[in-house]
Structure 1
Amino acid sequence: MPVQSPPAAAPARTRRRLMVPLEPVRPQLKWLLGTAFFVLFVAVWALATLGGFVSPTFLASPITMLREGVLLFTEYGFAHDVAMTVWRVMGGFVLAAAVAVPLGIAMGAWKPVEAFCEPFVSFCRYLPASAFIPLLILWAGVGELQKLLVIFIGSVFQITLMVAVTVGGARRDLVEAAYTLGAGNTGIVRRVLIPGAAPGIAESLRLVLGWAWTYVIVAELIGASSGIGHMITDSQALLNTGQIIFGIIVIGIIGLFSDFLFKTINHRLFAWSAL
């Protein structure tokens, strides 16, 4: 008769496979591990605040934070602030993408364009968007245009370089094959470079959208009468850490939702790229 392995061998192999480098994790386990981290984080936060280890003046408890969040939505019109912040992020990001994607494609496809634009774009990429706020207030006032331009400046140069690198990394064998089949220079860009780089461009846009959320708070800290950043500034003046933390968490939740939405759209549009 064949000798059967001990029952404990299978769980041991499973545990070992969990820590294999680059080994994918099952979707159910991935969600479980991600949720477990949030649970652990909230548990430590609750222990530190409700246990009296940290003063409520410096850090509100999870319960206080939730209570302040309900007050924000029911009594202080926080839904309007959230809507304004989402509008500013999406408006500035779309403007940046409309400029950066074509420019990045041109830089990646045509090396003279890259040689002409890349030094200036690389220089601007290191300039903090917040440093432009005083100038933007002088040029555009303290209205919506100023806030859109902060997000635009913070995003456009990052997207441009990332798109240029993605397009410039096209497979040479595909380009040579297209030339062999009679494609011209314009056809190479339209039929080879852009379709091949499309999944990478979409992924670059997803990453930069996350950065845009950091820029909008900076834009709303100065000269704003609405928005999540404006609420955080007012709460800081009142030492209301519960509202500050709630505003930060709302930003994280919206950003996580937008990231998930972007991933889903990218996967459906470019499902073949994951093969």
Structure 2
Amino acid sequence: MKPLEPISPKLRLSLGILFFVIFFAGWSFATFGGFVSKTFLADPITMMKDGWWLLSKRGFLGDIGITVWRVVGGFVLASVIAVPVGIAMGAYKPIEALLEPFVSFARYLPASAFVPLLILWAGIGEMQKLLVIFIGAVFQIILMVAVYVANTRRDLVEAAYTLGASDRGIVRRVLLPASAPDIAETLRLVLGWAWTYVIVAELIGASSGIGYMIINSQALMATGQIIFGIIVIGVIGLISDFAFKLANRHLFAWRFA
């Protein structure tokens, strides 16, 4: 291995699968070998049986669907507001001076701390869950987008001015195209964070969703169901991550060439 030396797609896939094989082998060894009590950590077979029971008897597919909807809804709401604000902050220094202190302050506030207030303000319905995700994602996206836009190469801006571009044209034809791949990558990363926020939202005041199932299983000490719920989140997140990567490679093929 050499630093930053690329590897073939087949090797990358093989190594990724290998890690999962090692992980499940270690899990099986710890549980089937009696090193960890099944009360505290279910074995893989028990987890699969509990997962099948949830899907076939408890309507867990509905919980998965509602959680996915909450993640997508809150994430899209945050993106629609955050991306334009971040672009404005990165492009115009007065707007950055106005908003950056507050955004930097707000992004350190844990979304989970707002749950009691959001229940008071919005009740325990869907709006409260969406707002938890929104608060957790919007400030992160704003700041990261602003940084990428502000870091656009200065020579590109100067060249555009030399060719007669207007101020608005600089934003539309230089800043946005130059930072678009990084903005898309930012959205991919923040989407992963959104999954942590939705589970927090569903642990309190929810009657459906993956987080609701997990908290009910915890009360019953059904570790197999808890692990299955966690794995489902990971699988959905992995699928969405790969979909985002493929979309980014298609939209910005020149960046990944």
TM-score past 0.5 threshold: yes
**What letter corresponds to residue 90 of structure 1 in structure 2?**
V
Are 2:7 and 1:25 aligned?
Answer: yes
For residues 95-130 of structure 1, give each alpha carbon's deviation from its aligned partner in whole angstroms, at most 9, with x where no partner exists: 000000000000000000000000000000000000
Q: Distance in 1 between matches of 2:174 and 2:12?
A: 35
Equivalent residue in structure 2 for 1:86, among 68, 74, 77? 68
Q: Is the aligned partner of 1:201 residue 2:201? A: no
Considering only aligned residues, what root-mean-square deviation do their CA atoms show, in Å? 0.5
Q: What residue number does 1:108 align with?
A: 90
Q: Does residue 241 of structure 2 align to residue 221 of structure 1?
A: no
Counterpart in 1 of 2:23?
41
Q: Distance in 1 between matches of 2:5 and 2:86?
A: 34
Matched, 1:172 2:154: yes
User: Unpaired segments of 5 or more residues in structure 1?
Assistant: 1-18
Deviation at residue 263 of structure 1 after TM alignment: 0.3
Is 2:37 the partner of 1:55? yes
**1:274, distance to aligned residue in structure 2 (A):** 1.8
Partner of 1:124: 106
Displacement after TM superposition at 1:66 (Å) = 0.3
Percent of aligned positions with the same letter in both sequences? 72
Tell me how far apart the structure 2 counterparts of residues 87 and 27 of structure 1 sit (CA, whole Å). Answer: 32
- The gaps in structure 2 that reach 5 residues or longer are none
1:15 is matched with none
Q: Secondary structure at the match of 1:100?
A: helix
- Structure 1 equivalent of residue 46 of structure 2: 64
Query: Based on CA coordinates, which of the two structures has the bigger radius of gyration?
Result: 1
Please name the residue that 1:248 is paired with.
230
CA offsets 1:107-163 (integer angstroms, 9 cap, x no match): 000000000000000000000000000000000000000000000000000000000
Q: Which residue of 2 aligns with 1:77?
A: 59
State the TM-score, normalized to the length of structure 1. Answer: 0.93
Q: In the TM superposition, what whole-angstrom CA distance separates every residue of 1:158-212 from its partner, at most 9, and x where no partner exists? A: 0000000000000111100100111111110011001111001000000000000
Tell me how many residue pairs correspond in the alignment: 257
